[in-house]
Structure formats: structure tokens, C-alpha cells
Structure 1
């Protein structure tokens, strides 16, 4: 059942529970707060979102943003966002709404979970200034620090409703291969078998990924595990109306090579960050890793995660074909193999400029 269908069943009533509103045993609201009201606010493909008002211990009105989701998938999504937001907020407190809490409703059925954060009044339609936004993003990547020096995360996080494989790894090759294969496994499960596509997946996983990513951690080179947003496109950022600063939200983070964040911008669900000036500005503040001349091919490789994740969550999406075409390009260049198609630049969105509007065609919102 989609969120739109759930909302129709609720008849306009926002689902709320004592786990959120109880001022005697608060789980998320600051101690001393008194719940006032909650109303629907915004839209989401995977959660119910609202604006919650409470009074603090001095009687001043405070506004919060609340998300509600159902079942085990909902628990993973919202807990992952809470943990991701805590790390980002502790690194750059002005770059993401302050996270206040995550928990489960007291009602037993259906299993219902919530995430509460500070409410920020923001403009979500204006494209951010490339210089300002990319400087802030690069600073987040630079300032963040993996707790154990490895790639990964301490809990599952999601891109949409699809969980990432984020087991800790010393090797970036191993981590990205696991992440990539996890995405592909889910896609095949949801969208069905495609022999040529699956053959390309295996060639990319075991031949292309080592060829392109091993040089990042060889011959004395090192890459730093950075906290990344994990699903960064223009639909997950806004501009604070009060200050004009850019802010991100809906994080599904893990510690990764910072360039993975930019791979998302190659996918056709982006209509703003796909512009060259965003990547160019970012690279001014956080230069491409060595070997620099392979940055574009790494970017194509990193785009596979976002494209295939999108395809897994949106049946019949053309992004599956895009990912396959990009895999064909990478295999042709780095690990030729029979049994797959030739790369076709005439259907490459990065070249022809085709874009989509996420979630609309599937009637998710």
C-alpha cells in the first residue's frame, strides 16, 4: 500500500501517539514540553509527514517536523535517518535540521514508527547557489570522521524504502562492491531477471570495480571515509527562508568515498545537480582523488548505485536501462566481455539531457 493510499484511509487525520505527545515520559520532545497540535505538512513517497507544535517549559511555542512510517521497513528508514542526521548535525549543525528523536508508537498494531526533528521554514523550489551549496557539502565531507577509520555505518540506512548494505570495511573496493551487489540483488528481485543485465553486473562487480577503485588505495594513495548524505538530489535540500543558507534532509548516510555523493547527480532523477557547474564547484573545494583522469569513469560507476536503487523502488523505470548502458560502457573500456550489448551514447541521459520527475509516474505522492 502506498503512502497516498494510507493517507486516503486516514481521512485527513494525522496519525499521532502518546509516544510522541506524552509530556510525562517524553521520547522525542525536549523535557518539559507540552504537545499542542500536529497537522499534515509536505509530501513524501515513503512516509507521512507533519508539522508538530509544542510549548517548551517556559511556555514558548516550538515547531517540529515529524515523520511516521509503518512496519519493519518503516523502522529501518526512520531509525537510519535519525542516526544519519545525528552524525551530520554533530559535524555541521547548520546544514541539517536538528534531530530530536526516533521511536515506536505505543499502539501495537500496526507497528508504527516516528522521527522528530526541528522544523525549518525553507524554500524547496529554488535551485541553490552552486558555490555556496558545494562549499558547504565539501566542508561536511572534509570535517566528518569515521569512528573507526573504515567505510560503512553502524546501522542500516535507506535510499527511499531500500536499505543499503553498510557493513564496515577497510577496503573501499570491498565496500562499494557489497553496496552495489546489494542494490542489484534487490532490483532483480523486484523487477525480474534480465540475463544480459545480470552478466554485466557480475563483470562490473568483479572486474570493473577493482580496476577503477583499487588505485585509490594503492601506491601510497589513501581516501578518507567521509559521511555522505546517501540520497542527495534537489528533492532532499532546501534554502532556509530566514538566513538564505542551504540545508539538507532525508539523509540515508554512511561513511564512503566522498565522490560517491556526486554519482547521484549523474542520474536522470536530478534536474538541478546534474548541471556541470555543481560538480565543477564541488571539485574546487574538494579536488578529485588520484588518479584524477579517471574521475569521470568513477562518476559513471558511482551513478550505478543511485540509478539501480531508483529502479528497484520504481518498477518499469527507464533508469534500469540507463544503468545497463553505463555498465556496458565500463565493461567495454575496462573489462570487455561477450554476451552484453554495446554502449549506446544516443540513449545516455548524461549526453542527451533526458530527465524525469521522481515519484509522479508511479502515483506515489
Structure 2
């Protein structure tokens, strides 16, 4: 794999030759390229920082991510579209996305470009962070009130099935089956998991999700970040600990789905964040199902991790243990008569 930017001299002319024309074309009136610096590298992308001076004399720093191949292209498109959707609702909650596209000099390489931030150590202040998250989730502008997204979005290098669905139960079930299929392709089959899956889909999911969409209740789809853990947030103000989110994998969902990724301790959003969020956004009825719904949503994120890191069996085992607990708790599945009372809804 060849880096699109390499062996970078310090003079502007040489730097310009190293920055792909497709990238320069989407930046406004660049007079001089001041610096090009390589950042972090993951298994599926390389990050860069570009410092430039514009013709109006202002200097700006930009963040660029580069990925390769078809999935790299689609992942960066999904990141751009997700960030643009979040930015349109809560502009101060994420970077302003500038562009995505394909490099002119390397047609198999693709880029995503946005404003660059210097982050401070730690996780954002729970109060201000969750207030902005609740503002995002309070917007219900999904096309035709459906669950899904207008393009594929990626959790790492894991494509999500964002096909539009009329109900949250249907969308969640299809999305989870899609993740499980890719996990098996990458890590191989698990007899223990396969034995548990029928009860998960036939009993547990209907029992925990259908009551929110039956007997007069309904869910209005909310735009979620989709991969909201501490590693996809950053503090932009050291004094207030105000934070933003980035690297989203968005779709229109039940708002509480977002919090499934907070349940695993590894993701560093503890009880303070749950409390701050629900001080603004009430729990969905039936409230008594809230914790198990959260556990069900966390299952999908553990399966994400099991798919992204197939050699680490701990994520799969955590998911299996949770499925076993839920299936033992809800052996009868959904019973419509149990939920005939209509209560408040979000």
C-alpha cells in the first residue's frame, strides 16, 4: 500500500506536489501549503493533518482520512454523510465535513476531509455532552418516519445494513443478522452461538422491542451517531470540558440504541452519562424493560467488536452470556395482552 503523501519537503512547491489535486480542489483558495503530517493509522484508514494558508491570509488546519478499495470508498462516503446529517441538526456537536472523494493520482485511494481539532485528554463533560446528544436525538426528520439511512455506513470496516424499515423491531433484527453473518465469515461458525440465536430472534427481540410499537405506542426515529464510545469523542475546551463527536456510523433509530455502546465498561461512559442523558430524554415505555433493552442493544456492539477483532473471543463470549441470560428471563417471548395499557411515549 502506497501512501498518497510521502517524503514531504518543507517548501510549499514540494508540499503542493505531494498533496493530491483532488484534495486541493475542495479547499478554498489555498495560497500555501504549510505542513503535511501523518497521524494515527488503523487497520482500515490512515489519518493526516494539513495546514494551509488561504489567499485571505487566514491559516487553517484540516483533518484528512484516507482509505483504499471499494469498502474504503463507501466507508468514507458514509462518514461524510453521517457527519453532515449530525452537523445539520447540532452544528457544534461534530466537525463541519468538507468533502469526500477519490484521489486523482491514486484511483484506488479515497479521502474524507473536515476541520482539524486539537483535543484535550479525557472524556467530555457529561452534562453539556448529553444535552447536545439529546438535542440530536430529539430531531425526528427521518424520511417518511422510517428506520434506516440513505447510504451504507461503517463501524470500522464493518458495513451496516441500513435498508429502510417501517418498524424498529424489523430494522434492528435485520441489522443484527447482517452483523452476525459478517462475523461468521471472518471468525468462523460458533455452535454455542447458533444454538442460542433462534430464541434471541423469536423470543427476546420481540419481547423487548415490540411493546414500544404496539397497543398505541410508537417510536419516532432519531438520528444516532451509531458508534458512540469515548474513542469517538474529544474535548475541545479544556476549561469547560465541552466535547464533540466524530467518526459516526449513523442511521435513524430508537434513540436508546445509542446508549447500548455505553454499557460495556471498556467504553468509559459510566452512570453519570446515563443520568445526564435521561435528565433530558426520558426512558421509553415500558420503562421496566429499559435495562434489558439496553443489554440487547449492547449485544450488537459486542458483536461489532467480535467482527472487527475476530481473534479476540472475549467479545463473543460476552455476547453469548448475555443472550443466555435474556433467553432464560424471557422464555415465553412477546405476549400482547401483557402490554395492553397505553402509557406515555417519547
Partner of 1:198: 194
CA distance in 2, matches of 1:147, 1:38: 40
RMSD: 2.2
Note the alpha carbon deviations across 1:192-246, whole angstroms, 9 max, x for none. Answer: 1111202212321232111110111111111111111111000000111377421
Structure 2 length-normalised TM: 0.87
Q: What SS does the aligned partner of 1:65 have?
A: strand
Structure 2 unaligned blocks of 5 or more: 9-14, 334-346
CA distance in 1, matches of 2:32, 2:222: 37
* Aligned: 1:129 with 2:125: yes
Structure 1 length-normalised TM: 0.83
CA distance in 1, matches of 2:180, 2:251: 18
Distance 1:336 1:147, change over 3 A: closer
**Per-residue deviation, 1:175:** 0.1
Structure 1 unaligned blocks of 5 or more: 338-365
CA distance in 2, matches of 1:16, 1:84: 25
Q: In 2, are the aligned partners of 1:152 and 1:167 still within 8 Å (CA)?
A: yes
Partner of 1:155: 151
* Aligned: 1:278 with 2:273: yes
CA distance in 1, matches of 2:210, 2:61: 47
CA distance in 2, matches of 1:199, 1:268: 27
**Per-residue deviation, 1:57:** 3.6
Alignment partner for residue 19 of structure 1, among 11, 19, 22? 22
Partner of 1:177: 173
CA distance in 1, matches of 2:148, 2:22: 31
Q: Which moved more, 1:229-238 or 1:186-195?
A: 186-195
Alignment of 1:1-365 (within 5 A): 16-21=19-24, 26=25, 28-30=26-28, 32-34=29-31, 36=33, 37-108=35-106, 111-123=108-120, 125-241=121-237, 244-270=241-267, 272-273=268-269, 275-317=270-312, 318-335=314-331
Runs of 4+ in structure 1 off by over 3 angstroms are 9-16, 42-45, 241-244
Q: In 2, are the aligned partners of 1:240 and 1:246 still within 8 Å (CA)?
A: yes
**Per-residue deviation, 1:108:** 4.6
Note the alpha carbon deviations across 1:39-66, whole angstroms, 9 max, x for none. Answer: 1134544311111122334131111111
CA distance in 2, matches of 1:269, 1:44: 19
